[in-house]
Amino acid sequence: MRREIPILIAIVVGFVYVIQFFVPHAPFDKFQNWGNDWIQIIAGFAIILGVLNLLKVSLEKVYKKSKGWGYAVIIIIGFLIMTGAGLFFSGGKNYQNPGTPFYYIFFNIYFPLNATMFAILAFFVASASYRAFRARNKEATLLLLAAIFLMLGRTPLGDYLSAGLPTGWQLKNISDWIMDFPQTAGQRAIMIGIALGIISTSLRVITGLERTFVGGE
Amino acid sequence: MGAFLTLGIISFLYKDNPWYKFCEALFVGISAGYWFCTVFWSQFVAKLWDNIYPTAGQPRQYVYLVGGILGLMMLLRLVPKIGWFSRWPLAFVVGGTAGAYLIGYALSNGMKQVKSTILPLWVSGNLNATVGNIILVVGTFCGLIYFFFSKEQKGTYGKVAKLGIFFLMITFGASFGYTVMARMSLLIGRMDFLFGTWLGLIK
């Protein structure tokens, strides 16, 4: 019961979704619309589950006075402030409008933290690329050259450096050529590979062969 | 406030410190709150509540209760004794996604890409297009050969797969270049904020 019903649900829902592509009429088309909305609602609850779990872990840390419990208090306070602003003090559905407390916190706290967190990755990427990009073999050299040509070709520095060269040899055009042909060829191989992988995995789910998502007893 | 938080995160480049940890914890808490509010208004209210209790004149669609019940079952994961009920909504998502992707990916990633790769290998009077088409066809074919692991990659087959790796490396190099540029542009944005908006040193 704990494993059989979920597997049955996956099989039935999967089949109905596939059938709807071939029979786009009632009741299948309606089910697909409802199903898509239900999946979004479930995804919403899944995010809530993650948030509740974060709060549970943080509260446990505070209660047990574990190492770094003060930061867990900051997490809880941050959550309560943002949630309070978004749910009660920002005009309901228009909570994201400029001028609301939610927007103020988003613009002055969330945005700088988010942008800086990703911006400092530039330094880690630079250090990682120094180690990975040393042209130790043909593959690494190709990766290095493609990245360098692309970065130079997409920035004003590339235009400046290659301004005196014939049009076809200017870095911008070399970068465009790399993107249009060898890069596209590799990208297509990856996309077709992904499609084949997804088709086989989906077939396994729909036929009930793939059961790992139900876990153990 | 923005400058204080920006500098706090940047301080991690020196070493892990309480200022950074404070900013990190605040980021986690605020992010959780942000997503909670977003989900509440865009999923629970817009998809669930508004369909069950619509504005005057609209029919009530109780069928959306199914989504709500499945969602609530997801939360049962927090109760260990009946946590296995959360497999039902998970199975619904897995089955629905498998069904939708089976055809969707076959069409978009599979058929369309294959169709776009079936190109003439000789374009009369246009050397650029001829070379370009040959690269596209050969590169895609060799890349796919590399992904076929059911046969040992040695001999001629191995050489074709090796050529496929070269094309894949160029693709990864381009993706890496774009990633670096995106991160750099974020960094420039933050520096512009610190030295321009905050300190007023950049006009």
Q: What is the residue range of B6's domain? A: 1-62
- Clarify whether residues B127 and B199 are in a common domain: yes
Predicted TM-score of the model (pTM): 0.84
Q: Do A142 and B13 touch (CB under 8 A)?
A: no
Please report the pLDDT score of residue B78 as a whole number: 86
pLDDT of residue A216: 59
Sign of CA dihedral B46, B49, B52, B53: negative
Query: What's the pLDDT score for residue B34?
Result: 95
H-helix or E-strand spanning residue B6: helix B2-10
Query: ipTM of the predicted structure?
Result: 0.84
Examine the domain organization and report whether B130 and B189 are in the same domain: yes
Are B174 and A179 within 8 A, CB to CB? Answer: yes
Which token pair is B73? 């079952």
The residue count for chain B: 203
- Say how many C-beta atoms besides its own lie within 10 A of residue A20's C-beta: 21
Q: What residues of A are in contact with residue B180 (Cβ under 8 Å)?
A: 122, 125-126, 129, 147, 151
User: Per-residue b/e over A65-101, b at no fewer than 16 CB within 10 Å?
Assistant: eeeeeebbbbbbebbebbbbbbbeebeeeebbeeebb
Which residue, B62, B79, B94, sits at the end of a domain?
B62
Q: For residue A215, give how far its alpha carbon lies from the nearest alpha carbon of chain B (Å).
A: 9
- Is residue B6 very low, low, confident or very high in pLDDT (cuts 50, 70, 90)? very high
- Whether residue B101 is found in the same domain as residue B130: no
Instruction: Indicate whether B90 and B163 sit together in one domain.
Output: no
Question: How confident is the model over B23-41, as pLDDT tens digits?
Answer: 999 999 999 999 999 999 9
- As a whole number of angstroms, the distance between CA B51 and CA B68 comes to 11
Span B65-78, average pLDDT: 92
Our count of domains for chain B comes to 3
Q: What percent of chain A has pLDDT over 90?
A: 63
* CB proximity A135 to B under 8 Å: no
Q: Are residues B172 and B107 in the same domain?
A: no
Retrieve residue A53's tokens: 């779990």
Instruction: Return the structure tokens found at B142.
Output: 């060799």
* pLDDT tens, residue by residue, A194-206: 999 999 999 999 9
Looking at residues B183-195, what average pLDDT do you find?
90
Contact B96 A35 (CB under 8 A): yes
User: Out of B99, B113, B137, whose CB is closest to A206?
Assistant: B99
Average pLDDT over residues A143-156: 90
Closest Cβ opposite residue A39 in set B96, B187, B193: B96
Let me know whether B134 and B98 are in one domain: no
pLDDT, one tens digit per residue, over A94-134 is: 888 999 999 999 999 999 999 999 989 888 888 887 776 67
Nearest CA in chain B to A125: B180
Question: Amino acid letter at A14?
Answer: G
Rg (CA), chain A: 26
Q: Are residues B106 and B170 in the same domain?
A: no
Query: Domain boundary at B40, B62, B84, which?
Result: B62
Contacts of A187 in chain B (CB under 8 A): 171
How close is the nearest chain B Cα to the Cα of A211, in Å?
Answer: 10
CA closest to B89 among chain A residues: A42
